[in-house]
Structure 1
C-alpha cells in the first residue's frame, strides 16, 4: 500500500521507505517503524492506544515492546518527516492513551484514487512493471506555493549531488518551469506525461506548469518518478499529478 502525506511525501509500505517526490530525498525505515507508521496511517481517523500498538506492531512480530521503545520509534518517525520537509506534526500524542494522526494532516492512499492514466506497456524482455500511474494528488494552494518557492531556490540533482536551478519557457499562454538539468525534449515528447506533455498541452488559457522528473538507473533496474503541478490562473485552481514506474532488470 502507498500513502501520500501532505501531497509531496510518499510512504510505500512494501519498500518501507519515505520519499520526498520533489527533491528525491529518501529515508528507508526499519521494519518496526514501517509497521508502526502503517498502523497509524491506516487507522488515521482513530486513536490507537499503546496496548493496541504493542500488540499489532511489536508482540505479533516478536519485537520487544515497552513505553520507552515506542516513544523512541515515534520520535524517529517525526524526525524523518521533518527531514523530508514536513513542518506539521503529523503524529499526535494523546496523553495517557496513545497516538493518532493529526486531523489537519493531508493523507491519501492509493486505494482512494481512480486513475485516468492508461499505463504504457513495457516491451523489454525480463522487465516487470511493479507500479505505474498518473493521478491527481489533493494538495492545498498554500503547500503548492511553499513547495515551488523552495524549488525555485534549490533542487537537488540526485545523480551528481550538485545544486541546479529552475528554467522557464513559454508555449502560447502557458509558462512551464522545469529543473535546469532536465532536457527540453524529455518534457516535449514524453509519452509518460499523457495529455500534459507539451506537444499535447492545451495552452489556450493562462496556465503555469511545474514539472520535476527523476530517473535512476542501477543494476537492479530503472526507477522513474515524475511530479507535475498544473495551475490554471483563470480558474484559480491547481492540480497535481504523480507518475511512477519501476522496471526491474
Structure 2
C-alpha cells in the first residue's frame, strides 16, 4: 500500500520510506515514525489525542511513549514533509492533540485489479515463424546462462578479495551497565565526548542504561552543505534468553553535539 501526499510525496507502507519522485530523494523512517505517519494519513483529518498516539504507536508494541518521543518524531515528519514541499502537514492543537491539515490531500495507491473481460485469442503464427522464434528463444537462453555464470563468478571473486575490508562489529560496556554496539573501532568512537552524548540521548528519551540492555549506535557527518548529518540509536531490551525483545529507534538529522 502506498499513500500519495499532495500529488508529490509517496509514503510506502511496505518498506517505511518517504519518497519525493520529482527529485528521487528517499528518507527511511524509523518504526515509530512510520506508525505515527500511518495513523495521521488514515485519520481523515480527525483530532488525534496524545494519549491515543501513545497507545497506538508505543503501548501496543510493548514500548513506553513520552511527550519527548512524540515531539521528536512529529518534528522529523514535519521537517521531511517541508523539505519535500508540503508545509503545515500537521496542525498542533495545544492541550488537545494533533490533526492532519485540511489542505493536505491523501490518495491511496493500491494494486490494479485483474480485469474481468476475457482477452482476445492470440493470432495463429505461421509454422516458419514458430521455428524462427524457437531458435531465437534458444539463442537468448544460452546467452543468459553464460551471462549468469560470468556474473556469479565475478561476485565470488569480488567477495573473496574484499572480505578483509568488511566492517568489524564491536561492543563497549558503559559504567552505567548497558552495552553499546558499533561498526567503528573504539579508537574512532569511544572518546569521552561520544559516551557522554549517548548517555544524553538515552536520558532525553527516558531510556535507562541498565545491565544487559543493548544500544546500537552510529553517526556520520554531512559531506555537502545541502545535506544533513545523521545520528542513529537503537535501544533494545533483552528477553530472559538474552535475545533482544523490543527496541526503540531514535533518529536525528544534523545533531550538532556529535557531528561537530
Q: Tell me which interval the TM-score lies in, with the shorter structure as reference length.
A: 0.3 to 0.5
Greater percentage in helix = 2
Under a length normalisation based on structure 1, what TM-score does the superposition of the two structures give? 0.43
Under a length normalisation based on structure 2, what TM-score does the superposition of the two structures give? 0.42
Structure showing greater relative contact order (alpha-carbon pairs closer than 8 Å, 6 or more residues apart):
1
- Which has more radius of gyration? 2
Greater percentage in strand = 1
